Structure 1
Amino acid sequence: MPAAAASNDDDDHGLGILEFFHGKNIFITGATGLLGKALIEKLLRSTSVGKIYVLIKAEDKEAAVDRLRKEIVDSELFECVREKLGNNYNYQEFVKEKLIPVVGNVCDPNLGMDLNSSRAIMKDVDVIIESAASTTLNDRYDFLLDINVNAPQRLMRFAKTCKNLKLFVHMSTAYVNGRKEGLILEKPLIMGENGRKVEIDDDDEMSSSSSSSSSLCCSFSRVDLADEISLAMKSLSCQGASHHQDYDVTKNLKRLGLERANNFGWYNAYHMTKAMGEMVLNEIREEIPLLIIRPTVIESSYKQPFPGWIQGNRMFDPVIISYGKGQLPAYLADPKSTWISNINDLSKHTRDAILLSNEMGDAIDDEKMLRKLQSKAKAKVAYAEQLCKMYEFIGFIKG
């Protein structure tokens, strides 16, 4: 089956990305999340990648296959891949060959995989991409420690058993740097380093090296990963093992995470545990090539595979929703700023799209498909108009 990819219009060729991924077998965690799903789509569409082993949390193999189909294969994100392959049959055969669902959980021993799956990945995989994480800023401290600190450690230990591994990719966040200010270099975090702001005199700033800066940062209280995990487990056990899901237990563990983060110089427990995850990977990786990617924020797609794709409520969306629900009474902003100059223009463009699809009706043989497309387009227009009315009511855009 030919690759859907290696398109000439991509700009990745000059960096050697296409050559690197040619024929490579990938093992990816967090594949059903926003970033993991977009990454799989990009690999299938733009590279001649080999097999992609997808770790999926499920009861059994059948459930994993079903979840892979519903959340990845049938996702609208993969429309461009379908189009490149010509028809749905070719697409289904292509993804069946490329995507290998693996039952597992990054929070379980041996990543929750059975022995056969584990051995197959050890033998075949060239690249491991860790995208699984909890991105809730102030989730329970024990949960965040497990998935953002313990899980990367489990995955790195598994990586050491892979015979042909060429790269381990860890998705992190720029906010692992905590309250540090000024020029922040993309360098590994030192084990125990905290996120406090480092005060350096102007005369010393130019002469101090990056190593001395790290030493200054670590001159404050150091983060001990074992102590933090022990503290969270102790807090949990003190509240009763039979009440792990109680509201009070959850509230106390969230408060504990925020207190520990603030104590060491991070804004929240998510940033702190992601920093700790980086530290443990650097500490135990030995000869494993490690690439850490630190995005600031991740929003909707800009151009590829098409503009505007997003999964879930991201970044500013919760602000709009919270205001609409009455949970956020006000938001500080420049009243003179304009996000969208004219709602009518937006509505006009979407209506024009429907008219265009009507005019193209004769060119579409499948009448049922045409009605489906038109219905979907009208639903999107109605949704867009509702959003515009809400934005106008809030005062973010002009009517």
Structure 2
Amino acid sequence: MIGEMDVDSVVDYFRGKSILITGSTGFLGKVLVEKILRVQPDVKKIFLLIRASNVESAKFRIQNEVIGREIFQVLKEEHGVGFHNFVEEKICPLVGDIMHEDFGLDTAKLREVSKDIDIIVNVAATTKFSERYDVAFNVNVLGVKHVCAFTKKCIKLKMLLHVSTGVIGEQEGLIAEKAFFMGETLRVGTHLDIESELNLIKETRRELRDAGSTEKDERKVMEKLGLKRARNFGWPNTYVFTKAMGEMMMGLLRGDFPVVIIRPSIITSTLKEPLPGWMEGIRCWNSKLNS
């Protein structure tokens, strides 16, 4: 249990700091944004990396997919008529995507934000268990590579926090938390080569295009390939397999600053704050139902 003094120190840590959050339009991301704004209104700035065509489109997504949700009702009541000014002051949309180098930011914007960011929280992920292998790999593996590269350009960065749900697979019993080393798997006698997996994806897509496959056929093949590769190395589905590879990538490319990997076994609804029982989306963890 976290003591009251520990909670206070965590809350105080965010005072006056600028935070970059990826994946803020997802369930966990918006819970984090709301929590920070509610418990530490003296946070300097929260940059939200948003996939959009321009800043206005990004602001529209934030309004509709983040602060416009019911979970922000308590904050709205606390600030009253000043809520929108408060949000405008604290939240800064950043048009970009972790699937691109430097998140796709132009040189001027990259230089501007890299001077200000103290903390990066990487929540972005594709969480569909049987996602296309190429899509899951791009977001959950290469996305981590791009995040790590970006951190090294943030001159005042103090911490990188990475969320990695369920990467230990379907093991039973008491399992000690330890980092995944590059190439490590959950199946004895196998070795994982991330570069080879990327080449397999590229080659499979090339073969499909040469054969004139439809988009529907390509999607089915890539979904089956992801599940096949995951189970070959001991993971139950493409999601947790690619998240595990993302952890390996982070271990290889991390900088000299503190890196924290949070591994919730599964994420469900809020317990009591700011609203009891609030959640978005439903996931079934039974791998047999996602095969």
The answer to whether the 8 A contact 1:176-1:195 is kept is no
Post-superposition offset of 1:231: 0.3
Measure, in 2, the Cα distance between the counterparts of 1:142 and 1:303.
38
* Native 8 Å contact 1:55 1:102 kept in 2: yes
CA contact (8 A) 2:102 2:149 kept: no
Partner of 2:155: 163
Bigger shift: 11-20 or 241-250? 241-250
Contact kept? 1:244, 1:250, Cα under 8 Å? no
| Residue type at the aligned position of 2:238 | A
Is structure 2 residue 71 aligned with structure 1 residue 80? no
The partner residue of 1:123 within 85, 92, 115 is: 115
Larger Rg: 1
Match of 1:277 in 2: 246
Output the CA distance in 1 between the equivalents of 2:223 and 2:194.
18
1:171–1:294 CA contact under 8 A, matched in 2: yes
Q: Deviations over 1:244-291 (max 9, x none)?
A: 861111111111111111111111111110000000101111313110
CA displacement at 1:113 relative to structure 2? 1.8
Q: Give the deviation of 1:298 after TM superposition.
A: 1.1
Query: How many residues in Structure 1 have an aligned counterpart in Structure 2?
Result: 283
- What is the CA RMSD across the aligned residues, in angstroms? 2.0
Task: Provide the secondary structure at the position in 1 that maps to 2:121.
Answer: strand
Structure 1 segments of 4+ aligned residues over 4 angstroms from their partners = 10-13, 241-245
Relative to the length of structure 2, the TM-score reads: 0.92
What is the alpha-carbon distance in structure 1 between the residues aligned to residue 129 and residue 100 of structure 2?
23
The CA distance in 2 between the partners of 1:117 and 1:11, in whole Å, is 40
Q: Pick from 89, 98, 101 the counterpart of residue 97 of structure 1.
A: 89
Q: Determine the C-alpha separation between the residues in 1 that align with 2:251 and 2:28.
A: 23
1:19 to 2:19 alignment: no
Contact 2:148 2:255 (8 Å CA) reproduced: no
Sequence identity (%): 39
Note closer, same or farther for the CA distance 1:108–1:12 as it changes in structure 2 (3 Å cut): farther
Cα distance between partner residues in 1 of 2:276 and 2:177:
29
Partner of 2:177: 186
Contact 1:53/1:99 (CA < 8 Å) preserved in 2? Answer: yes
Per-residue deviation at 1:315? 4.3
Note if contact 1:299-1:314 (Cα within 8 Å) is conserved in structure 2. Answer: no
Q: Partners of 2:35 and 2:53 in 1: how far apart?
A: 28
Selected match of 2:37 from 28, 33, 44: 44
Structure-2 separation of matches of 1:141 and 1:250:
9
User: 1:251 corresponds to which letter in structure 2?
Assistant: K
Query: What CA distance in whole angstroms lies between the structure 1 residues aligned with 2:214 and 2:54?
Result: 25
Deviations 1:325-368 (Å, cap 9, x if unpaired)? xxxxxxxxxxxxxxxxxxxxxxxxxxxxxxxxxxxxxxxxxxxx
Higher relative contact order (CA closer than 8 Å, sequence separation 6+) = 2
Q: Does 1:147 align with 2:139?
A: yes
Cα distance in 2 between the residues matched to 1:194 and 1:58: 36
Unmatched 5+ stretches in structure 2: none
Q: Which has the higher helix share?
A: 1
Q: Which residue of 2 aligns with 1:138?
A: 130
Alpha carbons of structure 1 residues 49 and 245: separation in structure 2 relative to 1, 3 Å: farther
Paired with 1:58 and 1:306, the residues of 2 have a C-alpha distance of 29
